[in-house]
Amino acid sequence: MKRHLISAADLSRDDALLILDTADELAKISERSIKKLPTLRGRTVVNLFFEDSTRTRISFEAAAKRLSADVINFSAKGSSVSKGESLKDTALTLEAMGADAVVIRHGASGAPHRLAGWVRGSVVNAGDGTHEHPTQALLDAFTMRRRLGPLDGRKVTIVGDVLHSRVARSNVLLLNTLGAEVTLVAPPTLLPVTVDSWPCEVSYDLDSVLPKSDVVMMLRVQRERMNAAFFPTEREYSRRYGLDRDRVAKMHDEAIVMHPGPMNRGMEIAAEVADSPRSTIVEQVANGVTTRMAVLYLLLGGADLGGEIQ
Amino acid sequence: MVFSLADAISHAHSGARAVLEGPDINRALVRISHEILERTKGAEDIVLLGIPTRGVHLARRLAACIKQFEGRSVPVGSLDVTMYRDDLRLRPARALGRTELPADGIDGRIVVLVDDVLYSGRTVRSALDALNDLGRPQAVQLAALVDRGHRELPIRADYVGKNLPTSKSEIVKVYLEENDGRDAVLLLKEDDK
C-alpha cells in the first residue's frame, strides 16, 4: 500500500481487498467487551477538520482510539486558522508535534495532496471539496460485501448530486477496481462535464435502472454547494430522482439502499425507505469505524515507510 | 509464511533434513492429547485455541484425538495475535488471521494454546496479551509441535511434540496436510531459503 490514502484510485485491487478483509476481522472487535487493541500505542493521529463533519470525525476518532493511538482533534473554528494561518503553517505545526498520521477534511479539492508534501506522516483524505472521500467508498464497499458477498459483476446505481459529490467519485473508482458495474443517475445539470471519462455508465432515468440494480446509493442534495439553478424545484427533483416506496417496489428482493448521510428525508430519500430493512444507513456508520481502523492499521501498523518532506 | 508443496519438494533436494514425517507428527499429537487428558483430569473444562495458520489445524487434530480417546468434544477456536505483536514496526503491516472463540467463551476455562513452532516465545507472549482482552481463563497452557529453543522471554511449553536443538541460522518449516498437502517438519540451513 502507498503511504497516503488521498484517492480511491491509489488503491490496487489487492490493496482494497486487504483493507476489506482486515476490516472483516476487526469488525469482531466491536462485539467484544474490551473494544481496544494495543497496536498503535504511542502513535499520534491528528484529525484536521476544516469543514463541518459529525460522523466522519467521530468515526476516525473512535477508530484511532480503538487501536490505542493518541488522538488530537483540530477544527478550524477556534483555531489559528480563523486568524489567517495558512494550511502550510498548520502542517508545519503538526509536523513539529510529531503526528504519525493526519486525517484531513478540507473544503478545497486537492488540499490533502498538498499536505502530503509537507508532512512526514501518512495523510488520510477524509473528504476534500468536491473531489474525493476514499474511506467513505471503502466503508460503502465493505457494507455491500457484507450484505451481498463479493462485488464482482454486482450492479451499483448511484443517484443524485454527482457533480458536488466526493462520495460518488471515490465510489465509482473503488467499485470499478473491485469489479462492480456502476451506473450514475442524475439530472444532466448535476453530472460533471468529464463524466464520460469515468469508468461507469450514465443514465437520466431512474425507473429504468432500478430493476437491474443490486445496490441503490442515494446522494445528498448538497444545498450548501448549489450556487446555480441546477433543477427547477426541490419537488420536481424529488419526483424524478427521489427514492420513495413505489420506486423501492421495483427493486429486486435482495437489493439494498444506501446513503452516506446526512440525509434530507423527504427529498432524495423517503423516511420510510430510509428506515426499512433494505436500508444499510445505520450499518454504514458502524462499518465506518471498522473500515477506518483497517486503514489506520495498514498505514501505521507496520514499519515506518520513511516519507520524505518535499 | 506460505509454502507450497513444490517448495517443499525443492527443499527436500537442497539438503533440507526432514525431522518429522507424517506418522511421527501423528504419534506426537496422540501423545500430547494423552498428556492433556492426564494433566487436566479428563479435559473437562478445556478449550483448545490454535494460533493461525498451522496452530489451528493442530488444535483441530488434538480435539479429534481427544474425542477418539474419551468421547468428549472439546471446543476448538483460533486466536490471531497479529495486533498484539511486538515486532509490527519491523515489517510492513501484515494481513490479519482469524480469531474465532467457542460460543461459551474462555472465562473460567483451561485454555490450551496450540502453535506449530515455539522459538523466541514472543508469539506466545502476544497470545497471552490477546487472551487478556478476551476473558479470564482459569489457567493457560501451551502446546507446541516443535520446540526449537532460543527463548527470548521466560516462557515454556507444557506439551511438546519434539524438542529440536537448532542453531539460530537454521529454519524450521512445518507442513500440514490441511494447508500444504503433506505432513512434515523440515530443518533448513539459511542459505537454502
Q: Write out pLDDT tens, residues B71-85.
A: 989 999 999 999 999
Average pLDDT over residues A118-127: 94
φ/ψ of residue B21, rounded to 5: -105, 175
Min Cα–Cα distance to chain B from A121, Å: 14
Most confident region among A296-310, B2-16, B169-183 by mean pLDDT = B169-183
Q: What is residue B12's predicted lDDT score, i.e. its pLDDT?
A: 52
Q: What is residue B187's predicted lDDT score, i.e. its pLDDT?
A: 93
Partner A contacted by B107 (CB < 8 A) = no
What is the rounded (10 degree) CA torsion for A123, A128, A134, A139? 110
- Give catalytic status of residue A83 as yes or no: yes
Whether residue A310 is predicted with pLDDT greater than 70 in this model: the reply is no
Whether residue B190 is predicted with pLDDT greater than 90 in this model: the reply is no
- For residue A300, which residues of chain B lie inside 8 Å, CB to CB? 93
Instruction: Report which residue type is found at A278.
Output: R
pLDDT digits over B9-20, tens only? 555 556 688 999
Q: Which helix (H) or strand (E) holds A103?
A: strand A101-106
121-180 in chain A: CB under 8 A from chain B: none
User: Which of B88, B93, B99 has its CB closest to that of A28?
Assistant: B99
pLDDT digits over B143-179, tens only? 999 999 999 999 999 999 999 999 999 999 999 999 9
HEC secondary structure over A26-49:
HHHHHHCCCCCCCCCCCCEEEEEE
- Split at pLDDT 50, 70, 90, the class of A203 is very high
pLDDT digits over A20-48, tens only? 999 999 998 888 888 999 999 999 999 99
Indicate which of A30, A39, A300 best probes the interface with B, i.e. most B CBs within 10 Å of its own CB.
Answer: A39
Residue B96 to residue A298, Cβ atoms within 8 A: no
Average pLDDT over residues A77-102: 84
Instruction: Report which residue type is found at A285.
Output: V
Order of strands across the sheet with B170-175? B17-21, B184-189, B170-175
Question: Percent of chain B scored above 70 by pLDDT?
Answer: 91
| Long-range contacts (CB closer than 8 Å, 24 or more residues apart) made by A168-172 | A168/A219, A169/A8, A169/A130, A169/A131, A169/A132, A169/A198, A170/A7, A170/A8, A170/A132, A170/A133, A170/A134, A170/A136, A170/A137, A171/A8, A171/A136, A171/A137, A171/A140, A171/A141, A171/A217, A172/A198, A172/A199, A172/A200
Contact A95, A76 (CB under 8 A): no
Helix, strand, or coil (residue B70):
helix
Q: What is residue A84's predicted lDDT score, i.e. its pLDDT?
A: 78
| pTM, two decimal places | 0.91
- Give catalytic status of residue A41 as yes or no: no
Residue B93 to residue A298, Cβ atoms within 8 A: yes
Per the structure block, which three cell numbers stand in for A138? Answer: 471503502
Q: What is residue A33's predicted lDDT score, i.e. its pLDDT?
A: 84
Residue A22 to residue B80, Cβ atoms within 8 A: no
Give CA–CA dist A119/A101, Å, rounded. Answer: 9
Helix boundaries (H) for A213-270: 234-241, 245-248
**In chain B, which residue's Cα lies nearest the Cα of A300?**
B93
Residue B133 to residue A1, Cβ atoms within 8 A: no
Min Cα–Cα distance to chain A from B90, Å: 5
Walk me through the domains of chain A, giving residue ranges and CATH numbers: 8-132+286-300 (3.40.50.1370), 134-280 (3.40.50.1370)
- Give catalytic status of residue A133 as yes or no: yes
Binding residues of A for L-aspartate: 83, 166, 220
Instruction: Report which residue type is found at B173.
Output: K
- For residue B98, which residues of chain A lie inside 8 Å, CB to CB? 25
| Mean pLDDT across chain A | 92
CB atoms closer than 10 angstroms to residue B33: 25
Average pLDDT over residues B130-145: 95
**In chain A, which residue's Cα lies nearest the Cα of B89?**
A303
Q: What is residue B106's predicted lDDT score, i.e. its pLDDT?
A: 93
Average pLDDT over residues A158-164: 94
B20-84+99-168 placed in CATH 3.40.50.2020: yes
Min Cα–Cα distance to chain B from A296, Å: 10
**Active-site option among A105, A106, A145, A247:** A105
pLDDT digits over A213-242, tens only? 999 999 999 888 777 788 888 899 999 999
Partner B contacted by A192 (CB < 8 A) = no
Q: What is residue B4's predicted lDDT score, i.e. its pLDDT?
A: 52
Contact A175, A157 (CB under 8 A): no
Q: What is residue B1's predicted lDDT score, i.e. its pLDDT?
A: 45
Whether residue A3 is predicted with pLDDT greater than 50 in this model: the reply is yes
Residue B89 to residue A302, Cβ atoms within 8 A: yes
